[in-house]
C-alpha cells in the first residue's frame, strides 16, 4: 500500500515505517511542521520516501494516516481528495486531552475530539487511557498500543545515579513533572537527558539543586541508550502525557523504573517491573534502595524488560497496524 503520513512524532514514526508498505512523507523546502520529510536522526528504511505537494497530486494514495486536524485540509489541497470520502483515512491520536479555559472551562475528560462524531474516519488511540479520556462521540475508535524496536538488553547499572529523559523541562514544567524531578534530584543523584538542558540547569541552580555535569542536551538516540543503560534506575516524572516512549525504551534496555501513577503508567509498569506511585517519597525510597542494592535493581530491570518485550514489541505493533490499514482500504 501507499500510505500518506506526516512526520509528526519521530519516535512513533520510526516504528510505523518499519512495516511492509510504502510510506509517503510530505516534504517542504523549509522542512517545517507540514513538510519535515524523512528523519535526520533516525535511520529509516528506503520505503519511507519524501514527496513534495506537487508530486503527491500525481501519486496514488491507498490510505491516509492523519495525526493533526489541519491535515484534513492539507490532504484536500495537495491531492484533491477528501479524507474519508475520496481516500480511506484513519486518525492517530497521540496525546491526552487538554481541556479548555476561558469563560466556559472544560475538564480534560470533557474535551471533544476534533473528529468527534465523524463516522468515516476511525480514531486510533495509542493508549487505553487516551481512549477512555477523550470524548469522540459516535466516531469509531480503536486502540493500537505503542511498539518499539528492541535496543537490546544493555543494562549495566554501573553508575549509581537515577536517569530521566525530559524534553523542554522548563516550558513543560508541571506537565513533565519537572518539579518532581528536582525534588528527587535534591535527595538522590540524578542525571537528565533531553532538549532544553541549559534552562533546566538555571532553574535547578536557583532552587539549590546541583545538576552541573549531569545535564546532557540533545544526545542522539543510539548514544543515549548506551548512557541510560549505565545508570542504576530510570525516573519517569510526567504528570500528564500519553505514554512516554523513553519509559518503554528504558524498560526494554533492562532498567528498573520509577513513575508517577498517572495516565497509562500503571499499565505500562506492572508490579515487579518498577515502582509506580503518586507519592514522591515512595519513589525516592525505591531509588535509595536500588542505589544501595544493585542486585535488586538488576532483578527488577529484568522483569521490566520482559514486560516491555511482551506488551510493546515491534512485531505486535506492526501486525495491529496491518490489520487496521487493510480494513480501512
Task: Look at residue 85 in the predicted model and tell me its pLDDT.
Answer: 93
First-residue to last-residue Cα distance in the chain: 9
What's CA 105's distance to the chain center, in Å?
Answer: 27
Per-residue pLDDT of the chain (329 residues; tens, 9 = 90+): 999 999 999 899 999 999 999 999 999 999 999 999 998 877 899 999 999 999 999 999 999 999 999 999 999 999 999 999 999 999 999 999 987 755 567 788 889 999 999 999 999 999 999 999 999 999 999 999 999 999 999 999 999 999 999 999 999 999 999 999 999 999 999 999 999 999 999 999 999 999 999 999 988 888 999 999 999 999 999 999 999 899 999 999 999 999 999 999 999 999 999 999 999 999 999 999 999 999 999 999 999 999 999 999 999 999 999 999 999 99
10 Å Cβ neighbour count for 119? Answer: 11
Task: Kindly state the cell numbers that stand for 274.
Answer: 518498577
CA-CA distances (angstroms) from residue 176 to 12, 64, 262? Answer: 19, 31, 12
Task: Look at residue 103 in the predicted model and tell me its pLDDT.
Answer: 59
Q: What residue spans of the chain are helical by DSSP H?
A: 10-16, 53-57, 71-79, 128-133, 173-176, 178-185, 197-206, 221-228, 245-253, 265-268, 280-292, 294-311, 314-328
DSSP state of 233: E
Distance CA 301, CA 184 (A): 20
255 in Cβ contact with 161 (< 8 Å): no
Task: Kindly state the cell numbers that stand for 80.
Answer: 484533491
- 215 - beta bridge partners? 192
Residue 25: in which H helix or E strand, if any?
strand 22-26
Q: Virtual CA dihedral for 293, 298, 299, 303, nearest 10 degrees?
A: 140
10 Å Cβ neighbour count for 46? Answer: 7
Task: Look at residue 101 in the predicted model and tell me its pLDDT.
Answer: 59
User: If we measure between CA atoms, which residue out of 300, 171, 183 comes closest to residue 234?
Assistant: 300
Task: Look at residue 102 in the predicted model and tell me its pLDDT.
Answer: 58
Distance CA 124, CA 113 (A): 12
> All domains of the chain, ordered by start, with CATH?
2-147+314-328 (3.40.50.2000), 159-311 (3.40.50.2000)
Q: What pTM does this model have?
A: 0.93
Task: Kindly state the cell numbers that stand for 95.
Answer: 496525546
Task: Look at residue 221 in the predicted model and tell me its pLDDT.
Answer: 81
Amino acid at each position: 500500500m501507499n500510505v500518506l503520513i506526516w512526520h509528526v512524532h519521530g519516535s512513533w514514526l520510526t516504528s510505523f515505517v518499519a512495516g511492509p508498505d510504502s510510506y509517503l512523507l510530505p516534504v517542504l523546502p523549509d522542512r517545517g511542521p507540514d513538510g519535515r520529510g524523512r528523519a535526520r536522526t533516525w535511520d529509516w528504511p528506503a520505503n519511507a520516501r519524501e514527496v513534495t505537494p506537487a508530486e503527491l497530486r500525481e501519486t496514488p494514495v491507498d490510505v491516509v494516516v492523519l495525526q493533526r486536524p489541519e491535515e484534513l485540509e492539507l490532504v484536500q489541497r495537495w491531492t484533491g481528495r477528501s479524507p474519508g470520502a475520496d481516500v480511506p483515512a484513519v486518525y492517530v491520536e497521540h496525546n491526552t486531552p487538554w481541556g479548555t479555559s476561558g469563560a466556559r472551562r472544560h475538564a480534560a475528560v470533557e474535551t471533544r475530539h476534533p473528529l468527534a462524531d465523524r463516522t468515516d474516519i476511525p480514531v486510533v488511540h495509542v493508549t487505553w487511557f487516551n481512549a477512555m479520556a477523550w470524548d469522540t462521540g459516535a466516531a469509531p475508535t480503536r486502540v493500537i498500543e505503542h511498539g518499539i524496536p528492541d535496543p537490546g538488553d544493555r543494562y549495566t547499572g554501573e553508575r549509581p545515579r537515577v536517569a530521566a529523559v525530559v524534553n523542554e523541562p522548563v516550558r513543560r514544567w508541571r506537565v513533565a513533572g519537572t518539579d518532581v524531578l528536582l525534588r528527587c534530584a535534591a535527595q538522590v543523584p540524578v542525571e537528565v537527558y533531553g532538549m532544553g538542558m541549559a534552562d533546566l540547569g538555571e532553574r535547578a541552580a536557583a532552587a539549590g539543586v546541583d545538576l552541573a555535569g549531569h545535564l546532557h542536551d540533545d544526545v542522539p538516540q543510539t548514544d543515549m541508550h548506551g548512557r541510560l543503560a549505565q545508570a542504576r534506575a530510570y525516573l519517569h516524572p510526567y504528570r500528564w502525557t500519553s505514554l512516554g516512549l523513553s519509559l518503554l525504551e528504558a524498560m526494554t534496555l533492562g532498567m528498573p523504573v520509577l513513575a508517577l501513577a498517572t495516565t497509562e503508567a500503571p499499565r505500562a509498569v506492572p508490579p515487579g517491573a518498577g515502582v509506580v506511585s503518586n507519592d514522591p517519597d515512595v519513589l525516592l525510597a525505591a531509588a535509595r534502595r536500588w542505589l544501595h542494592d544493585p542486585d535488586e535493581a538488576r532483578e527488577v530491570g529484568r522483569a521490566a524488560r520482559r514486560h516491555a518485550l511482551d506488551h510493546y514489541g515491534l512485531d505486535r505493533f506492526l501486525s495491529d497496524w496491518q490489520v487496521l490499514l487493510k480494513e480501512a482500504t
